[in-house]
């Protein structure tokens, strides 16, 4: 299966009750585009990767940090977090951008494409 992290084709069909898919977010200390298309963000799981520092990231509906703010995630050293927003989730209209403000994180987002 092709990687969804670089998925940028427009969605032309809405699938009611479609599956929720896990899209990996590679270990990173820099900001990245997680998805470049509209989706429903149903949840996420992130962890601080160094084991010795704090980490902070913001999620945006957009292709950079000027998009619509979605969530702030702050992690202590060696901490992880999981949040589930429900099957219908939070509608992401443009794309999902992870702005890593400090530290290093990795994880996955759960989306309905």
pTM, two decimal places? 0.83
pLDDT (tens digit per residue) in 44-92: 999 999 999 999 999 999 999 999 999 999 999 999 999 999 888 999 9
Q: Is the pLDDT of residue 1 over 70?
A: no
Domain range 21-112, CATH architecture:
Sandwich (2.60)
Burial group, residue 66, by CB count within 10 angstroms (0-12, 13-18, 19+): exposed
pLDDT at 18: 78
Q: Is the pLDDT of residue 3 over 60?
A: no
Taking 3-state DSSP, the helix, strand and coil percentages for the chain, each rounded to the nearest 5, stand at 0, 55, 45
Domain chopping of the chain, boundaries: 21-112
CA 59 to chain centre: 6
Cβ count near 47 (within 10 Å) = 18
């Amino acid at each position: 299966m092709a990687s969804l992290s670089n998925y940028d084709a427009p969605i032309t069909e809405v699938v009611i009750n479609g599956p929720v898919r896990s899209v990996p977010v590679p270990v990173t200390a820099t900001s990245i585009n997680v998805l470049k298309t509209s989706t429903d963000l149903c949840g996420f799981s992130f962890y601080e990767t160094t084991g010795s520092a704090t980490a902070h990231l913001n999620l945006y509906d957009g292709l950079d940090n000027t998009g619509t703010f979605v969530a702030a995630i702050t992690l202590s050293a060696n901490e992880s977090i999981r949040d589930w927003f429900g099957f219908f989730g939070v509608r992401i209209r443009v794309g999902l951008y992870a702005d890593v403000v400090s530290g290093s994180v990795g994880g996955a987002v759960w989306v309905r494409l």
